[in-house]
Structure 1
Amino acid sequence: MTAATGTARTAAFATCASYDELVERVRAGELGPDPAAQRIAVAFTTRQAVRHDGRGTGYRNEVLSLRLAGAVGSCAVEPGALPCGAIDDCVGADVPRLLEHPLLPVRVAALDAYLMHVAPHGPAQGARPVPLPAGTSLEKSRARARAVVELLDLPPGTTVLVVGVVNSLLEALRSRGLGYVPCDLKGGATEWGEEVVTGALSEAGRCDALLVSGMTLGNGTFEPLRRHALAHGKQLVMFAQTGSAVLPRFLGHGVSAVCAEPYPFFWLDGGPGTLHRYGGPRPGGER
C-alpha cells in the first residue's frame, strides 16, 4: 500500500478507539452523510432453528435487520427476546432516533445499517473477499469456520477463548491443534461434551487469544473484551453477522481481524456467498 493509498483509506474508513466514540462520530455526521436525513425503509426479523446432519445438538437464531437504502444492518438477539413493537419503532425512523432507542439491539442494527450504507464491504475499506461455496448447511458452516479461524496467527498448543459457541468453529480450531475455552451466555455443552462457561471476561486471562461473535455488540459484552485484548496485546478475531460493518472500525484498537458476513447469511440458502475479511494473516503468511 502506498502512502497516498493509505491516506485515502484513512479518510474514507476511519477507525475508532471505542464503541461510544464511533456512535458519537456517526451522530455528528463525521463518517458520512447527515444521519438525520437517513431513514429506515424496512425492518424485519429472521428466525432459524438448525440441527446439522451428523450433529447431536442444535440451536436457534433470531436476527433484527434494518434496511437503509441499499444496505442492511443486523443484530442478533436471544430468540423471543425482541418485543414485537420494536420493528414498528424502526420503520420510517431516522438513524439518530434509533441510535437513542432503549433497546441495544435496535441501536446496534441502526449503526450497522448506516455504516454499511456509507462504506460497504470492499477493497476500498481494506476488505478481502472470500467466496463461500454452495452446499449443505453443514458444508457452508464448516467453510465459514475455516475462513474465520485462518485469521488467527497462533502456533499449535495455544488456547483460544471462543465467545459465542459454534461447533464448526471449535472443529476448525481442533484441526489446527489449538485448544479452546468455549463460552456462551446460554451455557450448556459442546458437541464433544465440553462444558460451556458463561463468564467470558473471567476466562479471558487464561487464554492466549480471543475469537468472539459479533453478538457481543448486542448484549453489551464487546467493549470489556476489546479492552482486555488491547491491554494484554492479545489477538481478538471477530466473526460478525451482527455488526459486520461496525466491527472493522475497531481494527488497531483491540480488534486484530474481522470476518464480516452481512445479510443474507450463509444459513439462509444453499447457494454461494461472500465473506469479507479484514486484518489477520494473508495466504502464504503475507500480511
Structure 2
Amino acid sequence: MTTAVNATLSSYDDLIRRVGDGELGPDPGTFRIAVAFTTRQAVRHDGRGTGYRNEVLSLRLAEAVGSCAVEPGALPDSAVEECVGADVARLLRHPLPPVRVAALDAYLMHVLPHTPAQGAVPVPLPAGSSLEKSRARATAVVGLLDLPPGATVLVVGVVNSLLEALRSRGLRYVPCDLKGGETEWGEPVLADALAEAGRCDALLVSGMTLGNGTFEPLRRHALAHGKQLVMFAQTGSAVLPRFLGQGVSAVCAEPYPFFWLDGGPGVVHRYGGSCPGGER
C-alpha cells in the first residue's frame, strides 16, 4: 500500500523530519519510552558449520516495540538509560543512529501498526526449532522476489537460510556484509554492497542497513535502475513499509519478539511483492 506520504517521501531523513513535524500521527514529543532493553544472543543451528551473534536495542512505547540491530558490543550501556523516560521527539535527534531508528520504529509501530488496513499480510511461522523457524521465515522473505531462475540477487546481511532458499529457487546471489567472512558453503562475503549492486538483478537487504547508514544508497540504486528491493526487517519493521514505491518493492516485517527468541508459533507481515492484496 502506497500512501500519500510514501509517494512524496525523499529519504530516511525526510521521514524522520515528517514524523517530528507530526505529519504521520500525533506529536512525538507527547510520547515517552517506558522501557528500553537490549537482546543479545549467539546461535549455531543444528547441522550448520557456522554461527552468528545478534544484539538488538528495543524501545517500548505503549503496546509497540521498536528495534534496531547493532554490531555486538557497539552500543554503549548508557544508551539504554538515556532512552528510558525520554520522549520520542528527543530520541529522534539522539546522536546514536540505532537509537534514532528504534525510536522511529516504536513510534510508527504505535501509530501505523502491522494490520491489513496498512497493507500488511500476516504469514504464520510454525512452532519448531531455531533452524525450522529460520527456514520458514526465509521462505516468506524470498517469496517476495519475482525473478526467473538464473537471476542474480544482491544479499545484504548474510543469513544462511535466506541463501539456502535462493539456491532452492535456482537463483544466484552475491553475499555482502560489513563483517565479511564466508557463507555456510565457503563463498566469500563481500563488504561493499553498493559496489556489487550493478551486477545484480535485484536486492535482498536487511533492515539493519537503517542503523549503519547503508540503506539510502541501496534504495537510491534500486529506484534509479528499476530493480526490485526486498527488505527483511527485524530492524525498522514499521519504518521500511513507508518506502514502498520509493525504491522498496516489498518488505517482510518481523517486529519483536523475533523468531529466534521463542520456539512457539510466530508471525511475519509481508507488504508488496506477490502478497495477496499487496502492491506489485
TM-score tier (shorter): over 0.9
Q: Which moved more, 1:10-19 or 1:106-115?
A: 10-19
The whole-number CA distance in structure 2 between the counterparts of 1:162 and 1:51 is: 20
| CA shift for structure 1 position 10 | 3.2
Aligned length: 280
TM-score normalised according to structure 1 size: 0.94
Q: Which of 130, 133, 141 does residue 148 from structure 1 map onto?
A: 141
Q: Is the 8 A contact 2:28 2:88 kept in 1?
A: yes
| CA shift for structure 1 position 17 | 2.7
Q: Give the secondary-structure state (helix, strand or coil) at the position aligned to 1:245.
A: coil
| 1:19-57 deviations in Å (ceiling 9; x for gaps) | 111111100011001111000000000001000000000
Runs of 4+ with deviation above 4 angstroms: 11-15, 283-287
| CA shift for structure 1 position 117 | 0.5
| 1:71-99 deviations in Å (ceiling 9; x for gaps) | 00000000011000000110000011101
Identical-pair percentage: 85
What does residue 150 of structure 2 align with? 157
Q: Give the secondary-structure state (helix, strand or coil) at the position aligned to 1:60.
A: strand
| CA shift for structure 1 position 191 | 0.2
Q: Which of 23, 31, 34 does residue 38 from structure 1 map onto?
A: 31
Q: Give, as a single letter, the amino acid of the residue that structure 2 aligns with 1:254.
A: G
Q: Give, as a single letter, the amino acid of the residue that structure 2 aligns with 1:44.
A: F
Describe the shift of the 1:25–1:286 C-alpha distance in structure 2 as closer, same or farther (beyond 3 A). closer
Structure 1: 5+ residue stretches without partners: 1-5
Q: Which of 262, 271, 275 does residue 264 from structure 2 map onto?
A: 271
Q: Is the 8 A contact 1:73 1:112 kept in 2?
A: yes
Q: Give, as a single letter, the amino acid of the residue that structure 2 aligns with 1:163.
A: V
In the TM superposition, 1:194-273 aligns within 5 A as 194-273=187-266
Structure 2: 5+ residue stretches without partners: none
Is residue 107 from structure 1 mapped to residue 93 from structure 2 by the alignment?
Answer: no
Q: Is the 8 A contact 1:133 1:273 kept in 2?
A: yes
Is residue 126 from structure 1 mapped to residue 155 from structure 2 by the alignment?
Answer: no
Q: Considering only aligned residues, what root-mean-square deviation do their CA atoms show, in Å? A: 1.7
Q: Give, as a single letter, the amino acid of the residue that structure 2 aligns with 1:201.
A: L
Q: Is the 8 A contact 1:112 1:246 kept in 2?
A: yes
Q: Give the secondary-structure state (helix, strand or coil) at the position aligned to 1:254.
A: coil
Is residue 20 from structure 1 mapped to residue 13 from structure 2 by the alignment?
Answer: yes
Is residue 68 from structure 1 mapped to residue 61 from structure 2 by the alignment?
Answer: yes
